[in-house]
Amino acid sequence: MESIKNRRTIRKYQATDVTDELLNDLLETSFRASTVGNMQVYSVIVTRDVEMKEKLSPAHYNQPMVKQAPVVLTFCADFRRFSQWCVQRNAEPGYENFQSFMNAAVDTLLVAQTFCTLAEDKGLGICYLGTTTYNPQPIIDALQLPRLVFPVTTITLGYPAEIPDQVDRLPFKGLIHQEHYHDYTPDELDQLYAYKESLPQNLKFIQENKKETLAQVFTDVRYTKKDNEATSVNLLNALRAQGFLD
């Protein structure tokens, strides 16, 4: 509980390696995570090689931790292995569809988060890379992912070389709905986002980007409609190429 409450995203790592023994133990334990239908439709690609990190780096917008972290883990939705087993056992698989991708993606993220919780409890630091689904095709190519295997998230791993401040979180009461969804009033939204909007770094973001509100920083600078639509096209094209969409 304490390691989760005190967790931080780590983007700078010590040169100290993560041993195979520790890494494999963490991964094997994380594979006890819940799974859809007990199919375990995921795979994890472990990257330690410097040249392989160089290949992966552009897909992650050349964020420095990709090349600096001792280990890069790409968690993949994988219906290939299960489908091959079905064929080998005279069963006809029907998993070349979006629902199957969603099932596999759920499996993959459950394992990834379980792994991160275990790793942080052992003193390791992690950073989720959301860029995995922004640029899936270069990752598919670099890791030679076959049909029905798709990268869902990437995690950099190592011993922390920094202790950054914890990032803010919305108040508990703003995220809980009893019995049914309770929509937010303008006053409630003001209260929920008041602390986030008051933080000096966020006020600085507003000023630097010449915006009126923090929300405009998100919509006009960080996560724009244009960028979201472009990455959506990339994602759908890659899903189609990997066999999860017609």
Please, what's the b/e burial string for 224-240 (b: 16 or more CB within 10 A of its CB; e: otherwise)?
eeeeeeebeeebeebbe
d(CA 217, CA 103): 33
pLDDT at 246 > cutoff 90: no
CB 68 within 8 A of CB 129: no
Q: Compute CA distances 66 → 104, 165, 211, whole Å.
A: 25, 21, 31
Model confidence pLDDT, tens digit, residues 156-170: 999 999 999 999 999
d(CA 120, CA 209): 34
pLDDT at 224 > cutoff 90: yes
Model confidence pLDDT, tens digit, residues 85-135: 999 999 999 999 999 999 999 999 999 999 999 999 999 999 999 999 999
**pLDDT at residue number 99:** 98
Burial class (CB in 10 A: 0-12, 13-18, 19+), 87: exposed
Average pLDDT, the chain: 97
- The pTM (predicted TM-score) of the whole model is 0.95
Model confidence pLDDT, tens digit, residues 185-218: 999 999 999 999 999 999 999 999 999 999 999 9
pLDDT at 176 > cutoff 90: yes
Give the up-direction half-sphere exposure of residue 161: CA atoms within 13 A in the CB hemisphere. 13
